[in-house]
Structure 1
Amino acid sequence: MTSSEYDRPALYVEGGWTEPAKGASYEVIEAATGEVFATTALAGTDDIDRAVAAARRALTGPWARLRPAERAQLVTAFAGELDARRKTTAALVSRENGMPISLSRTVNGSAPGFITRYYASLAGDLPDEESRPSPTGGDTLVTRQPVGVVAAVTPWNYPQSLAVMKVAPALAAGCTVVLKPPPETALDAFVLADAAEAAGLPAGVLNVVPGDREAGVHLVEHPDVDKVAFTGSTAAGRAIAETAGRLLRPVTLELGGKSVSLVADDADLDLFTGKLLDVSLPNNGQTCHAATRILAPVGRYDEVVEAVTATVAGLRVGDPLDRATQVGPLVSAAQRERVLGHVERGRTSARLTTGGGVPDRPGWFVEPTVFADVDNSSAIAQEEIFGPVLCVIPYRDEDHAVALANDSAYGLGGVVWSADAGHGLSLARRIHTGTVGVNHYELHVNAPFGGVKASGLGRELGPEGLASYLVTKSVYRG
């Protein structure tokens, strides 16, 4: 066992720090070195039970008696505490999962407080109830109430943002939360607990209990949980959906993707390649909405392949804590082996133009990789790789391009590149996906994010993200 300043030996339950019931712990590996750098407490099923019970008690305590504006003040204070920790949190995540610090400073540093403050403002302006006149006389009083105890199960790739996209609207709505982050990024999850404690959130309102798959299953199935919010793999999402269906429990699922980057015949390739890293390879490819299927017109195919290959080959691979690094390591040895397995299978069906190997350095690195002459029906074009691997696929005309874009089990993101914004928009409207950009792709806090098909159910962000943590009740009055 290690001993370091980053160690987290206790879980956060009911406003206090408590050791796991069975004393379980997990050694966190630094992605860039492959070495242990901290140890974290690991929750078992008994700890999950305690956390859910604490959240249930808090639901009827002082938290429940707050008016929306009062609750918004506490959530705003929580946002301020997240802001105060943003620099150290961003660096911590980069050590945990390999995210380049230039990206982590935004998505793990600045974004959590920004998102939380946004939901505090929405909740503060949201009326508890409204009267709707009836066409036959009288009226209906429509009330909004928190859905209850929320089980938030989050992944390791964007740990702070994806946790806050659940925690912030849930708290703003008046819910209580049991957050179960994965062991790989348990350390930064406790920053949320630190912020909650410092902000004065009542005991039990937010509980942080990192755990393995068994703990997650137990939480999702717990009889005292009222809603599940999950981000992760499609396979795990299907299992959660089956459980939620059996229990008739509300669920939000943000799952995998295999999004397209559709290069129209009139596209500006300088603009396209200039944004290639942000759109197709963010976070070392460990991004659910990454546009890893690049669709190129046959008339410009060689030009696009050359441009993509040159851009990817020129990316700077290195220490994620170095501000100049563009591609860092993957989160774990297991994830690297998984990605390399996809690369080896790709060699048998497509043409490797750059990458495909492992840099000679410690850590879980994979060279940024491009495959050309890819058939859209091949495994590397259909399966989510979750690493720095791109496929360039030719299309005959735009109808063919749209058909290829929609020929996927997934539907989460996508981008269309065209010199004519109106033309790009018309193509974007034809892609069957939950989100899509035109010459740009970036999540906006006030717009809903989520997928269709195997990419999930429900939406996060925007007012829609708050609505999913509220239930309405109609009181008919004569």
Structure 2
Amino acid sequence: MTIQQIASYAAGQWIAPGAGARSIKSAITGEVIASAGNNALDVEAMLHHARTVGGPALRAMTFHQRAKMLKALAQYIGEHKQALYDLSFNTGATQSDGMIDIDGGIGTMFVFASKGRRDMPDGHVYVDGEPESFTKTGNFMGQHICTPLQGVAVHINAFNFPVWGMLEKLAPTFLAGVPAIVKPATATCYLTEACVRLMLQSGILPDGALQFVAGGLGDMLERLTYQDVVSFTGSADTAHMLRSNDHLLRNSVRFMAEQDSLNASILGPDAAPGTPEFDLFVKEVHREMTAKAGQKCTAIRRIIAPEAQVPALIEALSDRLGKTLIGDPRSEATRMGALVSTAQRADVLEKAALIGTEAERVFGDPNAFTVEGADAVKGAFLTPMLFHCAYPDAAQRVHDTEAFGPVSTIMGYRDLGHAIDLVNRGGGSLVASVITHDPSVAREVAMGAAAHHGRLYFNNRDSMKGSTGHGSPLPHLVHGGPGRAGGGEEMGGVRGVMHYMQRTAIQGSPDILTGITGQWVPGAKEITAPAHPFTRTYGELSIGETLNTAPRTVTLDDIEHFAHFTGDTFYAHMDDDAAKRNPFFPGRVAHGYLLLSFAAGLFVEPNEGPVLANTGLDTLRFMKPVQAGDAIKVRLTVKKKTQRTGEYGEVKWHVTLTNQDDDTVAEYELLTMNAY
């Protein structure tokens, strides 16, 4: 067998293994399949290349350009993913496991590409929140903005998801405009390297955006600055060692960790045998014990059920686990493959033995199980093991020992308060789940346990067909957890991008804020439109371009006609005495929606033109009532432009309605789609 030489990609060059290289074995056969590592990497040159070549190239792109880059990368990897599938089997992963890793990573990149296009501007500055005015005249204001860090992100990833673990970090990093150096776990780095080669050969990434380390980082962490980020996934012990690095502490280098987690699942008190929830619970627990051979940071390690249901649950789980075919992951019949290595198997057995000091093993004998199509001794195979802890209140090991494999412990609870106490005994987790059809149970658990967990997953008969599963982190939601889980957050849509950006408070006049953010701020200079703005294309419109309309007087007939035509005969519009008794109104007043309709009549250009559709309005506020005899006029200003496709873009208009005294009576943001 040819032993693959896993190279590092440093400062634009592939560097073969050298001094310090170590052998990597197949999880299926135990044979050496690869060699990786090189103690002679020039880490300073790598950091310099990222900071001076990759960083400037990425920051020169807008958020939308970086989002398009992510989409193109995801598409390219997807077109070549079969080669990744083929390599994935050697990690012990089945085809289904490989899809979780590879397709899950590709899907995450697609989501961040979409988030970048929809939730971020086609510019270089991300605006965080609305401006704050510090003077009555509004001539001095403040605003929060986010800009890319001018350093490098060092990603240290775990062995269990060699593709997804990399891509879920790269997606928000690249979208933020920061280059990355990826260091995967050596045991499965051959699969990560193959994916890195795909991304580099695509020609989509700018030079210096991505580098790769197979093996150790040397003294790279000692050379980082406050502009850099370390993002780590792995064991709590390794996270503690890295987090305690004196150089990182002294230089306030950002450090994110996603680490060990004693995740739990609660069977609700309403989920008795025979209910859809009981069957769903058994299915979820079985899947989390066997998918990736239990080597998932989100796997269910503790099963918490009503004491009366424990015997039935043990029986149902044992029956399902007993039907799980363990074998060569390349076989379509296999439902659970191997652990990543024999060393990992030994570690799992050691941790299971600790759990066994407080709990009885009720399913799975590690010394007597069948493996189909492979050698159980040479390969890193292990049977699922289910333990029962009869006295969870007195136990310690079942709440603090993670056997990172197909091992879980069931325990009973007396009441829901007791279940919440038990689930929180894990000291902080990535996810806890509750299978219940009772919303009051869900609320009580959320109020009692949310502070201890990064994600709470509720499922029942109503949602199970569309649910994504206890163990599936989604790129739209944060992935991380407090305490033992590391205290960090990843993904979460735009929230994940913010980890690689600096939030800065800026202060100045409305014109200054407009110039920095690229979005018009009320009080900034207005540009008189050379023609009606609805006759101008997306590309022709300028930020700050404004239309001021002539006034229109609101009459009593207008108010009564609108009331009868729409059916909105609310007393404040129809009964003067009743309206006066209301502390908000001086008497009969115009409908708010009548004012919006009149405003549209004042600023709309009726003829066919570049405005394709009105897609909605945001932040509508009515500030002052309008009575019959008042005259309203409109100021329509281009606040923001966002490209959507090659044919049209979204224009956000700031709309202000004022009366004859120039008092603001209403304000909102109008959204239109405008052709190029």
TM-score when normalising by structure 2: 0.65
Cα distance in structure 2, aligned partners of 1:346 and 1:266: 29
1:464 aligns with 2:495: yes
SS in 1 for 2:288: helix
- Counterparts in 2 of 1:347-426, with a 5 A limit? 347-358=356-367, 359=369, 361=376, 362-376=378-392, 377-426=395-444
Quote how far apart the aligned CAs of 1:461 are. Answer: 1.4
2:229 is aligned, of 222, 227, 230, to 227
Which one has more relative contact order, counting CA pairs under 8 Å at least 6 apart? Answer: 1
Quote how far apart the aligned CAs of 1:278 are. Answer: 2.5
Distance change >3 Å, CA 299–CA 228, structure 1 → 2: same
1:182 is aligned, of 182, 185, 205, to 185
- Counterparts in 2 of 1:6-21, with a 5 A limit? 7-20=4-17
2:96 is aligned, of 76, 96, 102, to 102
* Amino acid corresponding to residue 168 of structure 2 in structure 1: M
Distance change >3 Å, CA 19–CA 345, structure 1 → 2: closer
Distance change >3 Å, CA 60–CA 272, structure 1 → 2: closer
Residue 273 of structure 1: aligned partner: 282
Residue 451 of structure 1: aligned partner: 481
Quote how far apart the aligned CAs of 1:348 are. Answer: 3.9
* Amino acid corresponding to residue 76 of structure 1 in structure 2: K
Quote how far apart the aligned CAs of 1:152 are. Answer: 0.4
1:139 aligns with 2:141: yes
SS in 1 for 2:324: coil
Quote how far apart the aligned CAs of 1:142 are. Answer: 4.0
Quote how far apart the aligned CAs of 1:326 are. Answer: 2.1
Q: Contact 1:3–1:39 (CA<8 Å) still a contact in 2?
A: no
* 1:394-437: CA deviation from partner (whole Å, max 9, x where unpaired): 11111111111111223221111223255334324422211121
- Over the matched positions of the two proteins, sequence identity in percent amounts to 25
Residue 564 of structure 2: aligned partner: none
Question: Which has the higher mean CA deviation after the structures are superposed, 237-246 or 225-234?
Answer: 237-246
Residue 322 of structure 1: aligned partner: 331
* 1:112-161: CA deviation from partner (whole Å, max 9, x where unpaired): 22211222233345233347242323233544221221000001011211
Q: Contact 1:150–1:178 (CA<8 Å) still a contact in 2?
A: yes
Residue 203 of structure 2: aligned partner: 199
* Amino acid corresponding to residue 222 of structure 1 in structure 2: R
Quote how far apart the aligned CAs of 1:173 are. Answer: 0.7
1:473 is aligned, of 504, 521, 532, to 504
How well do the aligned residues superpose, as a CA RMSD in angstroms? Answer: 2.2
Cα distance in structure 1, aligned partners of 2:475 and 2:55: 30
Quote how far apart the aligned CAs of 1:86 are. Answer: 2.1
SS in 1 for 2:232: strand
* Amino acid corresponding to residue 3 of structure 1 in structure 2: T
* Amino acid corresponding to residue 498 of structure 2 in structure 1: A
TM-score when normalising by structure 1: 0.91
Quote how far apart the aligned CAs of 1:176 are. Answer: 0.5
Quote how far apart the aligned CAs of 1:373 are. Answer: 3.2
Residue 261 of structure 1: aligned partner: 265
SS in 2 for 1:109: helix
Q: Contact 2:428–2:485 (CA<8 Å) still a contact in 1?
A: yes
Residue ranges of structure 2 left out of the alignment (5+ in a row): 272-276, 371-375, 460-468, 510-676
Q: Contact 1:150–1:227 (CA<8 Å) still a contact in 2?
A: yes
| The structure with more radius of gyration | 2
Quote how far apart the aligned CAs of 1:50 are. Answer: 3.0
Distance change >3 Å, CA 380–CA 261, structure 1 → 2: same
* 1:159-192: CA deviation from partner (whole Å, max 9, x where unpaired): 2111111111101110000101111111111133
* 1:183-220: CA deviation from partner (whole Å, max 9, x where unpaired): 111111113322322133122110011213xx26x333
Higher share of residues assigned helix: 1
* Amino acid corresponding to residue 72 of structure 1 in structure 2: A
Residue 106 of structure 2: aligned partner: 113
* Amino acid corresponding to residue 167 of structure 2 in structure 1: V
SS in 2 for 1:118: helix
Residue ranges of structure 1 left out of the alignment (5+ in a row): none
- Counterparts in 2 of 1:426-437, with a 5 A limit? 426-431=444-449, 432-437=452-457
Paired residues, what number? 468
Q: Contact 1:189–1:208 (CA<8 Å) still a contact in 2?
A: no
Cα distance in structure 2, aligned partners of 1:421 and 1:103: 33
Q: Contact 2:156–2:233 (CA<8 Å) still a contact in 1?
A: yes
Quote how far apart the aligned CAs of 1:23 are. Answer: 4.6
Q: Contact 2:268–2:436 (CA<8 Å) still a contact in 1?
A: yes
Distance change >3 Å, CA 181–CA 412, structure 1 → 2: same
